[in-house]
């Protein structure tokens, strides 16, 4: 039984570019030009779900899903199946590019909003401030007046 990744008969330069770093991305056995499962080393749900979402926006993609083979194993399996004999590796490359562009736009907009300064800063109350607030709300009858006397609210 041959467990080595199979290679499609159709030359796919996109697949070769993606596999330029075989330590990061490999194609699992059983691949075809239009249907491949990629293994991405040191990735998890953060990239998996984002990439799946972006790739599924491509109208040439029939299916895209991901799984984490085991919680203690730091790798992601991403399956892509295409319509009309299109390149699954090309869809992965486009998905990675599109996701990168989305992240760059979000970062730019986030920085622009921070620079505008039109936001309210939230300051976490101290433990003493929290305790005083609890006393005020739950035990108003134990509060002291400004002279230090305990008030007897009923």
Percent of the chain with pLDDT over 90: 62
Of the candidates 2, 58, 72, 56, the one whose C-alpha atom is nearest the C-alpha of residue 30 is 2
What is the per-residue pLDDT across 8-33, written as a single tens digit (0 to 9) for each?
445 566 666 666 677 899 999 988 99
Residue 67: strand, helix, or coil: strand
Neighbours of 104 (CB within 10 A): 10
> Taking residues 91-119, what's their average pLDDT?
95
Angle at alpha carbon of residue 55, lines to 60 and 44, rounded to 5°: 150
Residue 48: strand, helix, or coil: helix
Domain boundaries, given as residue ranges, for the chain: 13-106
How confident is the model at residue 80, as a pLDDT? 98
> Taking residues 83-94, what's their average pLDDT?
95
Residue with the larger pLDDT of the pair 47 and 143: 47
The second-level CATH assignment, the architecture, of 13-106 is 2-Layer Sandwich (3.30)
CA distance 83 to 102: 25
Per-residue pLDDT band at 120 (split at 50, 70, 90) = confident
């Amino acid at each position: 039984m041959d467990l080595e990744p199979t290679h499609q008969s159709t030359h796919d330069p996109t697949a070769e570019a993606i596999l330029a770093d075989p330590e990061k991305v490999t194609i699992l056995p059983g691949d075809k030009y239009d249907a491949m499962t990629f293994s991405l080393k040191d990735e998890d749900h953060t990239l998996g779900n984002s990439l799946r979402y972006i790739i599924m926006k491509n109208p040439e993609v029939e299916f895209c899903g991901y799984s984490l083979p085991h919680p203690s194993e730091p790798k992601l399996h991403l399956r892509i199946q295409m319509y009309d004999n299109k390149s699954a590796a090309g869809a992965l490359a486009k998905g990675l590019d599109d996701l990168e562009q989305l992240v760059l736009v979000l970062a730019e907009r986030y920085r622009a909003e921070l620079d505008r300064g039109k936001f309210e800063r939230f300051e976490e109350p101290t433990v003493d401030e929290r305790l005083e607030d609890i006393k005020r709300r739950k035990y108003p009858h134990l509060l002291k007046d400004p002279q230090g006397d305990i008030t007897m609210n009923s």
